Structure 1
Amino acid sequence: MRRVRLRVWVVAVPMAALAVATIYPLVFTANVAMKTRHDYILDRFSLTSSLFWDNIATAWTSVGLGRYFANSVIVVASAVALLLLIGSMAGFALSHLRFRGSRALFLCFLAALFIPFQVIMVPLARVMADSGLMDTYPGLILAYVAQFLPFTIFLMTSYYSGIPGEIMDAARIDGNTTYGVYRRIMLPIGRPALLSVGILNALFCWNDVLISLLMMPSPEHRTLMVGVTSLRGQYSDDIPTFASGVLIAALPVLVLYLFFQRQIADGITAGATKG
């Protein structure tokens, strides 16, 4: 009995410390965002005595985070939709449609996972500039698709490889074409993996700074994370306003994770173990 309790404490104490270390920065940021500049200067670590919402209103309107938020929603939603469409089609083709070079093509996508963005950022910028896509929504969307497509294809291919080929054969006997099998059979079966990879890609795109900063140099086209990063220089003497911007950027990600944490875990586990 004592050994069991000791094992529980050995696991519980480090996990509790990790939870506190993870939650504390968010709590501290929210507490600072609710302070006036005067209260923050007097004592930055004390709990705020009143909720001062003017900092959030200033960050949303005067600083322009509302426009940056809309830019991020447009770009992230479009990029994730394209990633799911292309990734699910490619995953289905690479896992169940046998054609010459399919294995080599899958290995190319797998190898692309190990290429850092810093290696391709200069050629990408030149191609986008020559194509007239620099500082445009389609350009940033295509950049996100190119960056995160290998991961999407890898996960979808791994998931679809675990689906028996007999299901596809039965669907063909019922008169379905290849597209019919994909739309009527593979898409519904692949919902756990699609939800998982969609949420992960949304988090990747939402939290990105480097690609967005490279592709969107104009201030009016900035995404939310780039806008929040720029606040550090503009409001270096107004930390509560900067903390409000960080809080605005973090809340959508936090809400998304809280609602879909089970789906994320289930989808990743399914995609990693099947096949």
Structure 2
Amino acid sequence: MSRNRIGRWLIAVPMAALALATIYPLVFTANVASKTRHEYVLDRFSVAESPRWENFGAAWSGADMERYFLNSVIAVAGAVALLLLIGSMAGFALSRLRFRGSRALFLGCLAALFIPFQVIMVPLARVMGQIGLMDTYPGLILAYVAQFLPFTVFLMTSYYTGIPAEIIDAARIDGNSVYGVYLRMMLPLGRPALLSVGILNALFCWNDVLIALLMMPSAEHRTLMVGITSLRGQYSDDIPAFAAGVLIAALPILLLYLFFQRQITAGVTAGSTKG
């Protein structure tokens, strides 16, 4: 066997094992969600005899998941919109505008990537409570922006750095101001990166539990992922209904990933190279 074939096998086998380890929990959860409570108690690993779609209806209506779903959509949409606006402006400024402290500001954004949320969660909760933003949509949106903005700025700065400077110079010669260059040149050219970063931030915000649990303590303002965690206690004796709720929460983000997986890969790659 040639070295190239050995090398391909050394890569393919671990990747196949990783793919199987990733897919199996989803398949197992779908199988459990299709069972009756009696079938699950008898043998949790057996294949369901016939799909029980009633479990999905029970999880959706019984746990008030419609409200949780709406809360997540509002929080994620608002956070992603703000992240793209602020991140694209900051990326343009840090990559193309030279001002005192720009390098230090960019290094500060990089340093913020390594600060876990657990370090700032207590001061954040105190500040949000003092200004009256606890248990509100604006408070949760701002918390998401604060947490994921360094990542957004880093990727947008990396992407804008790769755009030829001649394009910017030509736009300035044509009479565009700094704002004109940003609106007419950088935003259209940055659409691929904006789409990638937007999808990644939507994934982060949708899957978040800790920030939403801290910022939205009341039951009526829970996001979908926080609401799913409460299902475990509500349906402690009905695991199939709980598994159905988990699948409902995972389905939107799974579909988003399947449709935009190339853009997600491009978004990760955009920040891994130096422009």
User: Which residue of structure 1 lines up, in the alignment, with residue 59 of structure 2?
Assistant: 59
Which whole-Å deviations, capped at 9, do the CAs of 1:224-266 have from their partners, x for residues lacking one?
A: 0000011112211111011011101111111111111111112
Aligned: 1:138 with 2:127: no
Deviation at 1:2, TM superposition (A): 4.3
User: Which residue of structure 2 lines up, in the alignment, with residue 194 of structure 1?
Assistant: 194
Deviation at 1:273, TM superposition (A): 1.7
Which amino acid in 2 is paired with 1:125?
A
Which whole-Å deviations, capped at 9, do the CAs of 1:68-109 have from their partners, x for residues lacking one?
A: 011101100110000000000000001111111111111111
Which amino acid in 2 is paired with 1:60?
W
Q: Structure 1: state its 5+ residue gaps.
A: none
Q: Does 71-80 or 109-118 show the bigger shift? A: 109-118
Q: Helix, strand or coil for the counterpart of 1:100?
A: coil
User: Which residue of structure 1 lines up, in the alignment, with residue 7 of structure 2?
Assistant: 7
User: Which residue of structure 1 lines up, in the alignment, with residue 91 of structure 2?
Assistant: 91
- Whole-angstrom distance in 1 between the partners of 2:203 and 2:196: 11
User: Which residue of structure 2 lines up, in the alignment, with residue 18 of structure 1?
Assistant: 18
Q: Structure 2: state its 5+ residue gaps.
A: none
Deviation at 1:9, TM superposition (A): 2.7
User: Which residue of structure 2 lines up, in the alignment, with residue 38 of structure 1?
Assistant: 38
Task: Flag as ranges the 4+ runs of structure 1 deviating above 6 A.
Answer: none
Contact preservation (8 Å) 1:156, 1:193: yes
Aligned: 1:261 with 2:238: no
- Whole-angstrom distance in 2 between the partners of 1:28 and 1:243: 9
- Whole-angstrom distance in 1 between the partners of 2:260 and 2:168: 30
Cα–Cα, structure 1 residues 6 and 104, in superposed 2: closer, same or farther, change >3 Å? closer
User: Which residue of structure 1 lines up, in the alignment, with residue 114 of structure 2?
Assistant: 114
Deviation at 1:6, TM superposition (A): 3.2
Using structure 1 for the length normalisation, give the TM-score: 0.97
- Whole-angstrom distance in 1 between the partners of 2:212 and 2:172: 44
Q: Helix, strand or coil for the counterpart of 1:48?
A: coil
User: Which residue of structure 1 lines up, in the alignment, with residue 210 of structure 2?
Assistant: 210
Aligned: 1:162 with 2:162: yes
Question: How many correspondences in the alignment?
Answer: 275
Which amino acid in 2 is paired with 1:165?
A
Deviation at 1:11, TM superposition (A): 2.4
User: Which residue of structure 2 lines up, in the alignment, with residue 69 of structure 1?
Assistant: 69
Contact preservation (8 Å) 2:155, 2:270: no
- Whole-angstrom distance in 2 between the partners of 1:175 and 1:197: 30
Two-structure CA RMSD over aligned residues (Å): 1.2
Contact preservation (8 Å) 1:193, 1:271: no
User: Which residue of structure 1 lines up, in the alignment, with residue 245 of structure 2?
Assistant: 245
Q: Helix, strand or coil for the counterpart of 2:271?
A: helix
User: Which residue of structure 1 lines up, in the alignment, with residue 225 of structure 2?
Assistant: 225
Which amino acid in 1 is paired with 2:178?
T
User: Which residue of structure 2 lines up, in the alignment, with residue 47 of structure 1?
Assistant: 47
Which whole-Å deviations, capped at 9, do the CAs of 1:114-170 have from their partners, x for residues lacking one?
A: 111111111111111111111000100000001111111111111111112221110
Contact preservation (8 Å) 1:216, 1:222: yes
- Whole-angstrom distance in 2 between the partners of 1:68 and 1:221: 7
Which amino acid in 2 is paired with 1:74?
I
